[in-house]
Amino acid sequence: MSDSSKTKSEGEWRAVLSPEQFKILREKGTELRGTGEYEHHKDEGIYTCAGCGTPLYKSTTKFDSGCGWPAFFDAIPGAVTRLPDNSRGYMRTEIVCTACGGHLGHVFTGEGFKVPTDERHCVNSVSIKFADEKINDA
């Protein structure tokens, strides 16, 4: 991953992303609830950023939240950045890929899920890709 990922022009991003990926990763869009390919995905491996390939989530942190999007209770340390988001008139916490700034979704806390962090990273399937590679727990 190079520093150029955050400095790519709109045209460079359009050249490497599908129109749907561009809408979500670069324009902060949202895929329709229940339509993402990874919502019910259960294989072991790593979920990477669809924009730059950076590892973001381990499959061991994925859980079924029933929200209509893939849900994770924690990210790989340093891979995801949290930003304040008041775009809908109320405060939420947006999550983006630290390496390229691509929009992933939002993180919610205190919902009562029986997960170690009491967090739900609600991630667009379009924002991630799955690799069946193992990653060491460091």
Report which DSSP code applies to 100.
Answer: T
Report which DSSP code applies to 45.
Answer: S
CB within 8 Å of 74: residues ≥ 6 apart: 57, 61, 116, 117, 119, 121
The Cα-based distances of 74 to 26, 32, 57, 81 in angstroms read 22, 23, 7, 12
> Of 49, 97, 100, 122, which one is the catalytic site residue?
122
Round to whole Å and give the CA distance between 54 and 57: 10
The neighbouring-strand residues paired with 96 are: 81, 103
Centre a 10 Å sphere on the Cβ of residue 99 and count the other Cβ atoms it contains: 22
* 122 is a catalytic site residue: yes
So which residues are the catalytic ones?
122
